[in-house]
Chain A
């Protein structure tokens, strides 16, 4: 659709944007719009109609008010690294990019908080807090690029979630612009707030309930010491039991990752991390804390790994060794990308105890569909990333991979889990949401949405499937190993 086909309302909004913002903050030309045609879910692309890049909260408010007045949709966008198409643009709405609002407003070591604008990168918060010996705990793999506003919208996680929580557990306050263009302040530098927990509701709402213009995050003292352990197992079930035993012993590791044989072999070929190629599964475990605390913890975990069948345990105490052990895991996605022209990354979460069962179901699904799967697993928190290998150039294989992905997510739901642990629903998992929720539950989600956004103008078509929806099923599609944002670690 060209601009001339747009309605008078759209023309009015565009006129307002051009009056309101500096020239370089309103993008309408094809070359300028191109970077906004997709987010990290690159299989789905559509040229936006217009991109607005406000520099102040007043501008955000004015844009949203104008869109509300004219009934035009708003698609909020952070850094565009999301993996589920939550920032997918369309011709009917204004892409509201928050990248220019990227100031760290305050780092307050006494209250252990930072106040930042939404476009501030996740890692930049930690970098700003470091001089006080503090850091921001959630570390999604895209943390060098992803923004805190997007982290709130997606309730971003990372490899340290079991011990340190997700975004929702580490954000104390936000300022947000409502669908009507009003500013609401939720929380602040305080530990609780009156009334139903709107702040928690906003986290993970995928830009559908409000637009974040400022975030107050909690900072933690940086751990004194870290150890990374690599344990190799000749059976997947032993690795699973070792994970359960560590937790049953009252130990919460900072991170605990599992990889199956195919993922290990791919990662080792790619990263030369020193992984044992004969292992059926490996665990990578990070322990952190005060020096005294870690001394005994390390021995305890090593003993548990050994007694649960680990035939090889490597310990890394210095930063270089630790980086080497992590490197294989962190490069698992591009490594798998070398095995196959394309792969699809799924994001189910399951109760940890069901891992052996779900893995054998995935194996059976893989055989039925005739497509191979490599599994990487945030073992600490039950978040499973099966990577389905396929070749998009073979007719029918893309559809087959997507159908297979849907079956895997169904198996996750049947095991008591969920269709998305950390990547979000976006447009990618709209169909599988129908597997997880009843029509009454979906209808309740819609009533909730309407309570905050009665005109349904904030990021329409994302997150919650309509009851009649039965569209295509997707995943994070990677062609010829070309990851979206290949410079980022993906784990």
Chain B
């Protein structure tokens, strides 16, 4: 299914502006449970505004409408042995759109080594809050003409406009991939990550959970084989569960994420982003069950009910935290700047973003 709905989208945005209505931009709604919904009048549906517009493997660029499903993009790329190396999560089943992936800015397990989706963004065609159709960036790797409005969209959760079209840089798929692992405590795994990170190894993901540490290695065959050998000498041995594990982690289908409801009710799941070598918090009574560490230590998923303790820990190590399903805390100075930017793109406050940056949001 492929359709251009720009005319309809522009009309809906203009009408909403004239009638002082607020629109919720929605792709597949796969991340709708991650943030409290903003109050809005109408859903601006992007799911039908889909289709790959241009893809030339030799150029390493794919251009598609914002509503194109990530599954479609991944399939198209796989035909040419290419991939989105930022591995955007496909939550809630096989769902998620390109626009939604950029807007939410969430990265897969390879973030420290393969980049975030914002690193892959080369250009966007944006419809702003007054219904103007604007093109920023483009389809080339290097481009410093004008402010980087394209990457600015990443993490904005739709607060600045509708991404009608997105161009992303893509990467060749790895010829070889393998997973190695060992039984380690979380502290042992963190110090190992800090040490291995300084070596020339084709690491593309890491995970610690329940006393098990795993590393994903990917690259050309000889490079991966040599790395496997070198790591075997450090006690990390090949694991068969490889691909499944990393996809589960990417899409939050790993058992760690699906155990959130206990008999005592739902538990608070925290996404804590920290400098990778930071120590673990001391408030976890049972880290083997309540923590999952990715990104070589840079991303820690924690189950914990005491929000104040998690906030204090994040701040102390120089990171930040967010309880999934609750609002994202943004530093006051940054929120002020973001609020001004929202006004610059959406002066009438048409887009009801769950970040709550618009003037009328509480």
Contact = CB atoms under 8 A, between A and B. Distances in A.
Given A437-B146, A463-B146, A193 B155 contact: yes
B50 interface: no
B154 interface: yes
Of listed A293, A438, A440, residue having the most chain B CB within 10 A? A293
A433 interface: yes
A320 B349 CA distance: 61
Contacts, number: 277
13 contacts: A132-B198, A189-B276, A191-B107, A196-B154, A196-B155, A244-B58, A251-B172, A296-B221, A416-B139, A441-B134, A441-B146, A444-B128, A452-B341
Contact of B119 (A112, A165, A190, A383): A165
B111 A191 contact: yes
A292 B223 contact: yes
Given A182-B333, A252-B172, A441-B135, A420 B219 contact: no
Interface stretch (B25-33, B38-46, B316-324): B316-324
A451 B220 contact: no
B143 interface: yes
A109 B151 contact: no
Nearest to B341: A451
Given A191-B299, A451-B344, A351 B59 contact: yes
A297 interface: yes
A195 B334 contact: yes
Interface in B245-269: none
Contacts of B273: 190-193
Of listed A190, A196, A200, A425, residue having the most chain B CB within 10 A? A196
Given A161-B141, A196-B153, A290 B226 contact: yes
Nearest to A249: B172
Interface stretch (B7-15, B64-72, B199-207, B232-240): B199-207
Nearest to B57: A248
A7 B182 CA distance: 71
Interface string B113-153: 00110110000000010001111101111111111110111
A290 B227 contact: yes
A168 B116 CA distance: 12
A441 B200 contact: no
Contacts of B115: 165, 169
Nearest to A421: B142
A195 B141 contact: no
B220 A293 contact: yes
Contacts of A424: 144
A245 B59 CA distance: 10
B335 A195 contact: yes
A38 interface: no
B167 to A, nearest CB: 10
A11 to B, nearest CB: 31
B282 interface: no
A16 interface: no
B329 interface: yes
Given A204-B148, A423-B144, A445-B147, A111 B200 contact: no
Contacts of A464: 146-147
Nearest to B159: A196
Contacts of A223: 200
Contacts of A419: 145
B337 A197 contact: no
B330 interface: yes
B197 A194 contact: no
Contacts of A195: 155-156, 328, 330, 334-335, 338, 355, 357
Contacts of B329: 194
B75 interface: no
Of listed A111, A162, A192, A251, residue having the most chain B CB within 10 A? A192
Interface string A12-56: 000000000000000000000000000000000000000000000
Interface in A461-484: 463-464
Given A165-B115, A168-B148, A297-B220, A452 B340 contact: yes
B112 interface: yes
B332 to A, nearest CB: 10
B185 interface: no
B95 interface: no
A329 B60 CA distance: 25
B284 interface: no
Nearest to B81: A250
Given A190-B275, A250-B172, 9 more contacts: A110-B197, A182-B333, A191-B107, A197-B118, A201-B152, A204-B144, A381-B140, A463-B146, A464-B147
Contact of A224 (B143, B154, B200, B355): B200
Contacts of B199: 133, 221
A370 B56 CA distance: 36
A81 to B, nearest CB: 15
A186 B336 CA distance: 13
B194 A110 contact: yes
Contact of B274 (A166, A190, A248, A351): A190
Contacts of B226: 290-293
B306 interface: no
A167 to B, nearest CB: 10
Contact of B58 (A109, A185, A352): A352
A204 B160 contact: no
Given A192-B273, A292-B226, A452-B340, A186 B152 contact: no
A422 interface: yes
B183 interface: no
A61 B345 CA distance: 28
Contact of A447 (B116, B219, B222, B344): B344
B155 A191 contact: no
A198 B152 contact: yes
A388 interface: no
Contacts of B140: 349-351, 381-382, 416-418, 421
A125 B299 CA distance: 26
B145 A420 contact: yes
Contacts of A437: 135, 145-146
Contacts of A190: 273-275, 298, 318-320
Contacts of A352: 58-59
Interface string A280-294: 000000000111110
Of listed B118, B143, B277, residue having the most chain A CB within 10 A? B143
A70 interface: no
A440 B328 contact: no
Nearest to B194: A110
A281 to B, nearest CB: 18
Contacts of A449: 147
Nearest to A157: B142
B331 interface: yes
Nearest to B277: A110
Contacts of A157: 142
8 smallest A-B Cβ distances: which pairs? A293-B223, A250-B172, A292-B226, A200-B151, A421-B142, A196-B156, A451-B340, A110-B277
